[in-house]
């Protein structure tokens, strides 16, 4: 358990550093995923989702926490149909469950400003 909390602390430090740094990539209109940190317990990355440039279809095997660095509205669109509109407020954290078996989705920004989130995936959460 000590190793887990050490991992969470390290991820938290990365989140603070990333939140305070200016990121010109978020202004280029390019959707991207920027790896931050990974070990046996967590996987951390920054996702920048540009308007009119949704993420490719994907799934999440593990639950995760996202922290909105530059918030806004994101539509999570299921490959099989249906969608869910999420409002992610800058500076707030949100819990997202793992994907249901056999499903895939994409994330698309609603509006004209890019969204930036830090994602902390918990590999061993049950």
Quick check: pTM over 0.85?
no
Predicted local distance difference test score (pLDDT) of residue 49: 87
Radius of gyration, alpha carbons of the chain: 14
**CA distances (Å), origin 121, targets 5, 51, 69, 73:** 14, 24, 16, 21
CATH of the domain at 55: 2.60.120.10
Predicted local distance difference test score (pLDDT) of residue 18: 47
Residue 60 in tokens: 């999440």
| Contacts for 121 with CB less than 8 Å, ≥ 6 apart | 42, 43, 44, 60, 62, 63, 64
Residue 51: CB atoms within 10 Å: 16
Query: How many domains does the chain fold into?
Result: 1
> How much is the mean pLDDT over the chain?
82
Name which residue leads in pLDDT, 70 or 31: 70
Name which residue leads in pLDDT, 126 or 71: 71
In angstroms, rounded to a whole number, what is the distance separating the alpha carbons of residues 78 and 59? 10
Quickly state the pLDDT bin for 20 (edges 50, 70, 90): very low
Predicted local distance difference test score (pLDDT) of residue 93: 98
Predicted local distance difference test score (pLDDT) of residue 86: 94
Predicted confidence (pLDDT) per residue in 66-80, tens digit: 999 999 999 888 999
Q: Whose CA is closest to 114, among 71, 77, 66?
A: 71
Q: For tokens 């046996």, what's the residue? A: 40
Q: Whose CA is closest to 45, among 34, 57, 54?
A: 34
Structural domain of 72: 2-122
């Amino acid at each position: 358990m000590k190793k887990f909390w050490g991992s969470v602390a390290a991820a938290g430090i990365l989140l603070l550093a990333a939140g305070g740094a200016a990121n010109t990539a978020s202004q280029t209109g390019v959707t991207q995923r920027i790896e931050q940190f990974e070990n046996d317990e967590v996987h951390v990355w920054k996702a920048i989702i540009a308007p009119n440039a949704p993420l490719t279809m994907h799934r999440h095997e593990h639950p995760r926490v996202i922290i909105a660095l530059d918030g806004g509205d994101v539509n999570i669109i299921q490959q099989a149909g249906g969608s869910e509109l999420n409002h992610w407020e800058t500076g707030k954290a949100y819990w997202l469950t793992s994907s249901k078996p056999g499903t895939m989705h994409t994330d698309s920004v609603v509006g004209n400003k890019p969204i930036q989130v830090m994602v902390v995936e918990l590999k061993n959460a049950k």
